[in-house]
Amino acid sequence: MRELTMRPGRTGGNGSGAGGSRRNSSGSARTLLRGTAALMALTLLPLWMALVHHLFTAAGNQPAPAVIMLPVLFLSLAIWALVSALRDEGMVLILAGGLSFVPIGLFLLFMPGFARWIGFLNLGLVAAGIALLRSEPDPWGAGGEELADASPSG
């Protein structure tokens, strides 16, 4: 059996592991933030499916190839954002939300109807990822100042 290794600063399922426990005074707020990001990503899935259905019916069930492939990409990005929110990966959440927002989400933000919510939720994913990054504990712990003091001074 292969042994699982932990990245520095990450904890195991029981709160123990390398880097100490992540559960501190902001643990419940962080969990709420992760849950909100996961709900935003989960909401994007039916919205993208509804948009695909709308585009197919508007094109007489013979849309351009881009209408077929682009929603597959953005559904994949929404799933990627969902998994990264559940795994507590702020940077990956920013990337997934940003990649989904920049080409299409910005355009859909100014469209009428339900498609506008895709842009809003993509912005929400980026904001949640930034908030998750900002609320991470210091990876060096309390010893970070000692490393700065131990540097050779010229």
Confidence of residue 136 (pLDDT cuts 50, 70, 90): confident
Determine the 3-state secondary structure of 129 from DSSP.
Answer: helix
Query: Could you give the angle at which helices 90-100 and 116-134 cross, rounded to 10 degrees?
Result: 160
Alpha-helical runs (H) found in the chain? 27-58, 65-86, 90-100, 106-109, 116-134, 144-149
Confidence of residue 144 (pLDDT cuts 50, 70, 90): low
Q: What is the pTM of this model?
A: 0.70
pLDDT at 61: 79
72-130: pLDDT as tens digits: 899 999 999 999 999 989 999 999 999 999 888 899 899 888 889 999 999 999 999 99
Are 114 and 50 spatial neighbours (Cβ–Cβ below 8 Å)? yes
pLDDT at 13: 46
Nearest partner of 95 among 52, 37, 31, judged by Cα: 37
Confidence of residue 55 (pLDDT cuts 50, 70, 90): confident
Confidence of residue 26 (pLDDT cuts 50, 70, 90): low
pLDDT at 46: 95
Are 132 and 30 spatial neighbours (Cβ–Cβ below 8 Å)? yes
Confidence of residue 59 (pLDDT cuts 50, 70, 90): confident
Are 51 and 43 spatial neighbours (Cβ–Cβ below 8 Å)? no
